[in-house]
């Protein structure tokens, strides 16, 4: 079943065509990687899907329903989560509160003015469970801004996953990491997203060919190719445009 479907999506920024004729679908349960050189429009694609930008043309369907141009919080509530390329957490809140924000949202009591936060034991348990999965238990009570880079990355993904989404979009989850950290992060991602549908932008080809079931290559706003890792590896156009240049990967 198609969980996400983009039909002929365009995005112009004042005449600059960043996305052109993007038609793409994500199957339920797969891990789909988007690759492409810098400026290919990968982040814009994520921003269009998650509602930060409205597409100039085309339609986007999530879970069979049209979500073109609706607000980010509404898309999130339907079960589409994202993480960010630049770390984007709640810096002055504790790690615990960061994760709890997502849990409160998932349980649909984010706006409740009557309940006392301290008395919500199920929320507490759930938050602890997520923190345990992401190895953040020891950092529970310190502000997110004081975590190490790798831990902030883990928290970043943790917040996105804590909302228990049907589809999760990861924007360069290993950006700025060392080899060692990347290996750990990949292990973590594989672990926590088991059985979930995943769409990710990634620069690190090792990571991509290691975890993706399907790969889509974006090249100057257009889809160059889409297929299994093997198909992509063999694709002539992709080799010419992108993979051939060793330094880029």
Partner 1 sequence: MIIVCLGFIALVPQILPVVHINMLIEIAFFSLFAVSYSMLFGYGGLLSFGHAAYFGIGAYTMALLLKHIAGIPLLLLLLMGGIGGGLGGLLAGFFCVRLKKAYFALLTLAFNQFFFAIALKWRSLTRGDDGLSLKRPDLYIPGLGTIGMGKIAHVYYLVVAVVLLCILVQWYLTKTPFGNSIRAVKENDERADFIGYNAFFTRLSLFTISAFFAGIAGSLFAFFQGFVSTGVIDAHMSMQVIFMTFIGGVGSFFGPILGSAVYLYFTDWVSRVTERWEFVLGVLFILLVLFARTGLIGLISMRRLKGLVGLGGKGKAV
Nearer to partner 1, 74 or 245 (CB): 74
Quote the least distance from Cβ 72 to partner 1, whole Å: 5
- Kindly tell me which of 163 and 174 has the beta carbon lying closer to partner 1: 163
For the bound state, the minimum distance from the C-beta of residue 68 to partner 1, rounded and expressed in Å, comes to 17
77 near partner 1, rule: CB under 8 A: yes
x/- binding map, residues 21-60, to partner 1, per CB under 8 A? -----------------------------x----------
Is 8 near partner 1 (CB under 8 A)?
no
SS (H, E, C) 218-246: EECCEEEEEECHHHHHHCHHHHHHHHCCH
Using only the alpha carbons of the chain, give its radius of gyration. 18
- The residue behind tokens 């301290």 is 118
Is 86 an interacting residue with respect to partner 1 (CB under 8 A)? Answer: no
One residue of 110, 132, 179, 237 binding partner 1 per CB under 8 A: 110
Separation CA 81–CA 161 (nearest Å):
7
Alpha carbon of 153 to those of 45, 69, 118, 142, 182: distances in Å?
21, 28, 27, 15, 11
Q: Considering the rule CB under 8 A, would residue 88 count as an interface residue with partner 1? A: yes
Q: What does each C-alpha distance from 129 to 68, 100, 120, 163 come to in angstroms?
A: 34, 11, 15, 13
- What whole-number distance in Å separates Cα of residue 208 and Cα of residue 215? 8
State both tokens at 101. 């924000």
| 113 touching partner 1, by CB under 8 A | yes
> Which of 25, 56, 97, 181 lies at the binding interface for partner 1 (CB under 8 A)?
97
73 lies in the site for partner 1, by CB under 8 A: yes
34 three-state secondary structure: strand
**What is the rounded CA–CA span in Å between residue 215 and residue 200?**
9
- How is residue 134 annotated by DSSP? T
Contact pattern from residue 121 through residue 160 relative to partner 1, giving x for each residue in contact according to CB under 8 A and a dash for the rest: --------------------xxx---------------xx
Q: Is 116 in the site for partner 1 (CB under 8 A)?
A: yes
> Minimum distance from CB of 41 to partner 1 (Å)?
19
* Site residues for partner 1 per CB under 8 A: 50, 71-73, 76-77, 81-82, 84, 88-94, 97, 100-102, 104-106, 109-118, 120, 141-143, 159-160, 163
């Amino acid at each position: 079943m198609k969980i996400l479907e983009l039909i002929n999506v365009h995005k112009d920024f004042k005449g600059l065509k960043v996305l052109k004729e993007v038609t793409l679908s994500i199957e339920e349960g797969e891990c789909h990687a988007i690759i492409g050189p810098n400026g290919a429009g990968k982040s814009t694609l994520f921003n269009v899907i998650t509602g930060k930008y409205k597409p100039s043309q085309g339609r986007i369907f999530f879970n069979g329903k049209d979500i073109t141009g609706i607000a980010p919080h509404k898309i999130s509530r339907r079960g589409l989560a994202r993480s960010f390329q630049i770390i984007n957490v709640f810096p002055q809140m504790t790690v615990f509160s960061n994760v709890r924000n997502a849990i409160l949202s998932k349980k649909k009591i984010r706006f409740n003015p009557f309940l006392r936060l301290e008395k919500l034991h199920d929320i507490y348990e759930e938050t602890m469970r997520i923190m345990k999965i992401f190895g953040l238990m020891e950092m529970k009570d310190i502000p997110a801004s004081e975590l190490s880079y790798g831990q902030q990355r883990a928290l970043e993904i943790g917040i996105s996953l804590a909302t228990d989404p049907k589809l999760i979009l990861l924007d360069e989850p290993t950006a700025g990491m060392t080899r060692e950290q990347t290996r750990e992060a990949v292990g973590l991602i594989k672990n926590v997203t088991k059985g979930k549908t995943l769409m990710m932008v990634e620069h690190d080809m090792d990571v991509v060919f290691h975890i993706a079931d399907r790969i889509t290559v974006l090249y100057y706003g257009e889809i160059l190719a889409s297929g299994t890792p093997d198909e992509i590896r063999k694709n002539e156009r992709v080799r010419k445009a992108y993979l051939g240049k060793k330094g880029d990967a």
